[in-house]
Amino acid sequence: MARGLGFFTVCLAGLALFSSSAAHADDLVVTRNVTIRVAPARQSERVEFPAIGDRLELLDDGQQQSGYYHVRLPDGRTGWVYRTFVHREPSPPAPFVSGPASAPEALTGGSAMTVHYLDMDQGNAAIVEFPCAAVLIDSGGRDPVAAGRLKANLDAFFARRTDLGRRFAAVYVTHTHLDHNTTLGTLIYNYRVGAYIDNGRLVGSGDKDAVWMAAYARDATPKVERAIVLEKDVRAAGAQGLTSAVIDPVSCAGVDPRIRVLSGGRERSDNPGWSNDDFDNGNNHSIVIRIDYGEASFLFPGDLENAGITDLLSQYGASGLLDVDVLEVSHHGAENGTTPQLLAAVTPEVAVMSMGPESVQGQWTAFAYGHPRLKTVQLLRGAVSGSRAPKDVRVANAVRSFETLRMDRAVYGTGWDGTVTVTADAQGRISVKTER
C-alpha cells in the first residue's frame, strides 16, 4: 500500500468512524483496514485482509519488528501487521462519530481533503476540496447532460463552501477530448477561476473548447494564470515531478497540499519511440496529476493508455512516486488504460472509475464503448487493498455486452455508485461515500 494508507469504511447514507475500547494484553483488535503480510515489510506478500473488529493473537510477547507485530489469525496462519492499524484492547471497535462524508469535518474537524468524483455520465470532473480552497480536475461529459450535471454539482458545492466565493484556485484539463473539457464554458460563465493548467495541445475532439479556453485565459480580467505542461519540462524537473505557483496555487494553514504533474503533452520531437497511432492519440498526452495531503495521496492519470503508461513507469516506477492511496482509473475503465505493472507501482487502497451507466445507450456512452471492461475491473479487484460493502455491478465483456460481477473490494464507479466522495486526513485515514 502507499505510505499514506489509512482505514476506510463505506456507508451509503453517511460515514462512520471507528475507535476501540480497552484490550486483552495478548490480543490485537483490528481498527482500520489493513493487510497481514508474510514478513514485517510493506513489500512483503499478502496473507490476509482482516476485517475491522477482528481479533488477532499477539505473538513474540508483543515485540515489534520495523513497527510490525507478529500475529496469529483465527485460522492458525501467522503474519505481520503494522502497529497503527491495531489496538491492544478488549472490545471490538464501536462507532462514535457519523456525518456526511462530503464534509471534510467528518474526519478531523475541518482539516481533511475531499475529492468528489462527479457523476457526469460518460465523462470526467472531480472537485478536489481543501480546508482553504478547491480545484477542479477536468470538466467534461456527454452532451446534452454534462453541463447541467456540472452546474448542479458545483452550485451545491459552493452553497456549502460559501467561504470560497464560488472560486476554484485552479482548473486542470488533462487532455483535449470532449469528455474532459466540454463544460468549460459553463464553468467560466458561472464561477471564478484563478489558474488554468493544460497540455497545450489544441487538437482533438475537444479542440473548440480548448482554443476558446486558451483565448479566455489570455484575455480575461481579472487575469487567469495559465500553465502549459509539456513533457520536456516535466522531464527537466527531475524525479519529483513538475510544480510551480500556477500548478500548485493552494496553500492551507496546518497542512499544505502538494500538487505536481508527472506527465504532460509532447511535441513531435519528443516522441519516445511510439508508433504514429500512439503519438497521435490524445489520451497518451494526458496530464498526470499527483496530490499529496499530509500522509494521503491521490493520482489522476486522465485517459493515459498503454504507450503513455509504459513511459510513465519508466520515468517513475522505481522511485515510488506513483505509489498512492487513491487512484482515479485511467480511460473510464477501458482495457487499454490499466496494466498489472501500473497497479503494482500504485498499490492503491481505493480505485474510482468515472464512467456512464450501462442503462444509457447510444453514441458516446459507456454502453457503446464497453466501459468499464471486465479485464480491467478484475485487475483492479485484485490490486486494491481496501474493501467495500458487497454490491452487484455491471461490467462489459465487449462493446454493448455486459455481465454481472459481485464487487466487495474498494473499486468504485460513477456509473455504479453515482458521485463517489473520498475523504482523507493528514494522517492518511481514508473514508468513502457513494451517492447510491
Q: CA angle, 199 as apex, 196 and 204 as ends, to 5°?
A: 110
Q: Cα 370 from chain centroid?
A: 21
Q: What is the mean pLDDT of the chain?
A: 89
> Residues 314, 124, 264, 164: what is their CA dihedral angle, to the nearest 10 degrees?
-120
pLDDT tens for residues 261-272? 999 999 999 999
* pLDDT > 70: percent of the chain: 89
pLDDT band at 102 (very low <50, low <70, confident <90, very high): very low
Averaged over 149-157, what is the pLDDT? 97
User: How far, in whole angstroms, is CA 32 from its chain's centroid?
Assistant: 19
Hey, what amino acid is at 403?
A: E
Provide the pLDDT confidence category of residue 112 given band limits of 50, 70 and 90.
very high
Asked whether residue 258 carries a pLDDT value surpassing 60, the answer given is yes
Q: Please give the Cα distance from 397 to 296 (Å, whole number).
A: 34
- The Cβ-side half-sphere exposure at 249, using a 13 Å CA radius, reads 22
Report how far apart, in Å, the C-alpha atoms of 206 and of each of 14, 132, 177, 193, 211 are.
Answer: 36, 31, 4, 20, 9
Phi, psi of 133 (to 5 degrees): -170, 180
Alpha carbons within 13 A on the beta-carbon side of 155: 9
CA dist 401 and 309 (Å) reads: 27
CA dihedral sign of residues 34, 35, 36, 37: negative
The tens digit of pLDDT for each residue in 307-348 reads: 999 999 999 999 999 999 999 999 999 999 999 999 999 999
Q: Is the pLDDT at 98 greater than 60, yes or no?
A: no
Q: Does residue 224 surpass a pLDDT of 90?
A: yes
Which residue did the predictor score with more confidence, 284 or 24?
A: 284
* Mean pLDDT, range 113-137, rounded to an integer: 98
| Helix residue spans in 111-173 (DSSP H) | 146-160
Query: What is the reported pTM?
Result: 0.78
In this prediction, residues 292-298 reach a mean pLDDT of 97
- pLDDT tens figures, 41-52: 988 888 887 877
pLDDT of residue 349: 97
* Confidence category of residue 8, pLDDT binned at 50, 70, 90: very low
Starting at the edge strand found earlier in the chain, the sheet holding 296-300 runs 258-263, 288-293, 296-300, 326-328, 350-353, 411-413
